[in-house]
Homo-oligomer: A and B are copies of this chain.
Amino acid sequence: MSLINTIVVAGGTHGNERTGVRIVQKWMEHPECYNTLCTSAKVDLVLSNPEAMRLNRRYRDHDLNRAFSQTCLDVAVEPQQYEFRRARELNRIYGPKGPDTRTDLLLDIHNTGANMGLCLILSTRDPFTMKASAVLTQEFKNAWIYYQPEERCESPYFGTVARADVCIEIGPQPHGTLNAAIFEESEKLVKRYLELAEEWNRGELQKRPAVKVEVYTQLRDMGYPKPQGGGPIQAMIHPDLLGRDYCELKKGDKLFRTFDGADILYEGEADGRESVWPIFINEPAYYEKDIAMSLTVKSVEEW
């Protein structure tokens, strides 16, 4: 990315993830909280899913953050479901998705019930988001980088209407609640992204020496054990694994516990890989998506 001219800070893409909702609401009421941090860019604030916020639910009809693929946005008839309509509206205002988008950088603030700390999710190897996120892993002891490479056109995430984006996943925080310590840390982090965008626009961030970062790269999602042919889940996250996001899980380690108290062990990957690093362990919103956790591969890089 060359200059960052337009930034969008989004909260409430999921209506019951209150950290982002309240940061954005606070900043809307008190623009002085953010409007001096990156004066070289136009900074917009948005509450992405007001209807879900009103309901205190993740979404009303469909997960908004799964509604931004080009296919969804291009459907010829106006969709019935609220979130598909809202996605098109957001795309008209902040996109359009693709090379002509109005938005250079989108920061989308989410919460997770998993023990993820400040998880910085990058969907592309964009120079600014990489460099800024690397700096933030040094400034925030609980910040982590999750690299989830996306075919941008078909990616369903709101952030992909912009040229570059960071999806900030903050936890553990039960959906529908606030946590004061998490709120304050998150607000600081988002402010730092704006300051680092300013530093980027001055050409200074680029000159900082590279730093070593741990990068957790998406491998695959893992579902809960289910009976052949479908049905309710047959096991829970194993107590030894719960809360251990970003920790190594080795072949033979305890993975699930059945309702009868039996342990299910991790068998390794089909390709022979014997170690993975799970994240989003036991995320409440992913039960309906049949995701018990997302498996990643850890590497150390210089960014």
A residues adjacent to B (C-beta < 8 A): 22, 25-26, 56-57, 113, 172, 174-181, 183-184, 232-233, 236-239, 242, 257, 259, 261, 282, 284-285, 287-288
* B287–A180 touching, CB < 8 Å: no
Interface of A is mostly: loop
Per assembly, the copies of the chain total 2
How far apart sit A236 and B179, CA to CA, in the bound complex (Å)?
7
* A177–B239 touching, CB < 8 Å: no
* B284–A237 touching, CB < 8 Å: no
* B178–A175 touching, CB < 8 Å: no
How far apart sit A22 and B233, CA to CA, in the bound complex (Å)?
10
Chain B CB within 10 A, most for which of A178, A184, A287, A288: A178
Question: What are 28 A-B interface contacts by the 8 Å CB criterion?
Answer: A22-B259, A25-B232, A56-B287, A57-B57, A113-B174, A174-B174, A174-B175, A175-B175, A175-B176, A176-B284, A176-B285, A177-B282, A177-B284, A177-B287, A178-B233, A178-B236, A178-B237, A178-B282, A179-B239, A179-B242, A180-B236, A180-B238, A180-B242, A181-B239, A181-B242, A183-B259, A184-B257, A184-B261
How far apart sit A57 and B25, CA to CA, in the bound complex (Å)?
26
